[in-house]
């Protein structure tokens, strides 16, 4: 984390600028962070147009709420990523409700939801995987990512991956414990 301190300070300065309605600070913040935040938005929504809307709304929230940002509570990227993730998951939930209410889409959802092999392949795709993520088993990582990026419940994961509910719960708990041990040691 210490290697990011300089970058964090820069981001904090820009957030302070936003809190004082300095538009130039928002522009600088956007140029530094938008590619990372867009990747989060895209990962959750898997639709460019929606991901763009999500990113746009997230930056407006960042601008409006910059005054409440507190460095003692979260690093700046964590705070901004959380705003994007919450925004994207909200949009995803609304989209699911809309799709479920439309019978024509039900088969489409079933057809397009990635199966367990595809999920594993997706999860293995990251070229420079963080050491602590690489330490997790494929199942542990997939389940944690399905919860974090797709907002799935234990039950939904069990159905999607076609594994018993108990196995899914165990993978998540053990995965989180391993993650904590690994990250606390860095």
Partner 1 sequence: MSEWNLSDPGDRNEAAAEYVLGLLPQTEKARFEALLAASHDAQQDVRNWQEHLNILNENLVPQQPPAKVWKEVSKATKPESFWSNLRFWQSASVSMALAVVFTVVLWFQSGVPGNGMDYVYVVQGPSEQTEWIVNASMNRDKVYVEAVQPVSLPDGKVCELWLMVAGREPVSLGILPKMGRNEVTISSEWREALKNSPLVITLEKPSGAPNGYEMGPVMNKGKWTPVNKASDYF
The encoded tokens of residue 153 equal: 């419940």
Smallest gap, in angstroms, from Cβ of residue 115 to partner 1?
21
Smallest gap, in angstroms, from Cβ of residue 186 to partner 1?
10
CB–CB of 65/84 below 8 Å? no
Smallest gap, in angstroms, from Cβ of residue 162 to partner 1?
19
Smallest gap, in angstroms, from Cβ of residue 148 to partner 1?
5
The encoded tokens of residue 99 equal: 């799709």
Smallest gap, in angstroms, from Cβ of residue 111 to partner 1?
25
Taking the least distance from each CB to partner 1, the nearer of 99 and 156 is 156
- Give the H/E segment covering residue 175: helix 165-184
Taking the least distance from each CB to partner 1, the nearer of 110 and 127 is 127
Q: Which of 177, 115, 112 is nearest to 144 (CA)?
A: 177
Residues ≥6 apart with Cβ < 8 Å to 70? none
Taking the least distance from each CB to partner 1, the nearer of 19 and 120 is 19
CB–CB of 168/157 below 8 Å? yes
Number of H helices, E strands in the chain: 10, 0
Whose tokens are 């024509």? That residue is 104
| Contact footprint for partner 1 (CB under 8 A) | 16, 19-24, 26-27, 30, 34-36, 38-40, 42-43, 51-52, 55-56, 59-60, 63, 67, 73-75, 77-78, 81-82, 85, 89, 126-130, 132-133, 144-145, 147-149, 151, 153-154, 172-173, 176-177, 179-180, 183
Taking the least distance from each CB to partner 1, the nearer of 35 and 110 is 35
């Amino acid at each position: 984390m210490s290697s990011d301190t300089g970058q964090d300070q820069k981001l904090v300065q820009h957030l302070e600028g936003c809190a004082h309605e300095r538009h130039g600070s928002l522009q600088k913040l956007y140029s530094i962070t938008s590619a990372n935040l867009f990747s989060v938005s895209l990962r959750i929504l898997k639709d460019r147009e929606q991901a763009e809307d999500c990113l746009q709304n997230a930056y407006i929230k960042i601008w409006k709420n910059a005054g409440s940002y507190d460095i003692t509570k979260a690093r700046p990227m964590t705070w901004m990523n959380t705003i994007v993730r919450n925004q994207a998951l909200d949009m995803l939930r609304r989209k699911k409700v809309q799709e479920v209410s439309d019978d024509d889409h039900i088969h489409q959802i079933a057809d397009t939801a990635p199966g367990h092999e595809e999920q594993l392949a997706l999860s293995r795709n990251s070229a420079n995987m963080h050491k602590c993520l690489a330490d997790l088993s494929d199942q542990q990582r997939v389940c944690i990512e399905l919860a974090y990026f797709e907002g799935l419940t234990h039950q939904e994961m069990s159905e999607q991956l076609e594994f018993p509910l108990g196995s899914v719960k165990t993978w998540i708990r053990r995965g989180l414990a391993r993650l904590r041990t690994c990250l606390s040691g860095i």
